[in-house]
Structure formats: structure tokens, C-alpha cells
Amino acid sequence: MAKITLKGNPLHTVGELPAPGTDLSDLKVTKSDLTDVAIGSFAGKALVLNIFPSIDTSVCSATVRHFNQDAGGLANVMVLCVSMDLPFALNRFCGAEGIKNVHTASAFRHPDFGQKLGVRILDGGMAGLFARSIVVLDASGKVKYTELVPEIAQEPNYAAALAAAK
């Protein structure tokens, strides 16, 4: 169990982020077209998982915008933004914001996603949502880098995540 905060108030996650080398290729998410896909289907490129509580919050939407701006020029790197939001909400946001360089997915059908990654929040008003975190996978689907942002209201270390993906 990891400890994080939301505006200084303590929260806990279901576990810890996976160790480097952990194979996550079997994890599934639901794409914007409502089809389910395994993370392993993105093999061949480094994959940055931008995991967050909800697209409808300012910091979460800022992370998607930031990665969208930075991901456009990266070869062999894909950014997948994942939350418990429904694909409809993620599509609405991306359409309104002109987001084209990142992909979004929902874990609403796949509770094991948050469990296996150790990011599901256990308590407080955000219980059931995901802690803000970054998991970078290499081209074979194995964990290369992780970051659990200690304060949900803060943004992740974009530079470190993208450096690990290159």
C-alpha cells in the first residue's frame, strides 16, 4: 500500500507500482471505440502510460495536453492516457481540445488494471479512481520506469518519463 495525498489529505493505494522488468502485456483497457485491447498489442514501441483520476479535473487534463504536445515529435513512442472515465468522456475532451498525438483508454471494464499496477485509490472521496502515476514500458511490454506522484494535485515528471521512453 502506497501513501499519497490530495491537497495534503492522506490517501492510500491498493498496492505499489510494479517493479522494473514486470511484464504488463496482458493488462487490458477499453479503447475509445469501446473495444477491449491488451497492452501487449502496442508492442514494438515504447509505451508511456499516463494514469490519472479523471479527465474532468484541471491537473489530469493538463497532463493529457502536455503529453499531447511532447509526443508529436517522438518516434517509436506512444502515450496512452488511462483513467476510469468512460471512453465517451475521454473522446469528448480530446475532440474539444484537438488532442491528436496521444491515445486514451478506460479501465472501467478492467478492475485488474488498477489492482495490478497498484494505483487504485482505497479511501477518501477519490476511492476507486486511480492515483496519478506514470508507467513506461519498453517495446516488449516490460516496465522500464515508474512514478507515483505523491500529491494528486501535482503534475508528474514529464521529462523523466519521456527520457525513459526514448
What is the band of 42 on the pLDDT scale with cuts at 50, 70, 90? confident
Whether pLDDT at 43 is above 90: no
Separation of alpha carbons 79 and 157, rounded Å? 14
Whether pLDDT at 72 is above 80: no
CATH architecture of residue range(s) 3-165: 3-Layer(aba) Sandwich (3.40)
What is the band of 121 on the pLDDT scale with cuts at 50, 70, 90? very high
Please give the pLDDT value at position 74: 85
Whether pLDDT at 147 is above 80: yes
pLDDT average, residue stretch 77-106: 95
Catalytic residues: 60
pLDDT average, residue stretch 141-151: 97
Beta strands in the chain (DSSP E): 3-6, 9-12, 28-31, 36-38, 46-51, 77-83, 103-106, 133-137, 143-148
What percent of the chain is predicted at pLDDT more than 70? 100
* Beta-ladder partners of 49: 80, 135
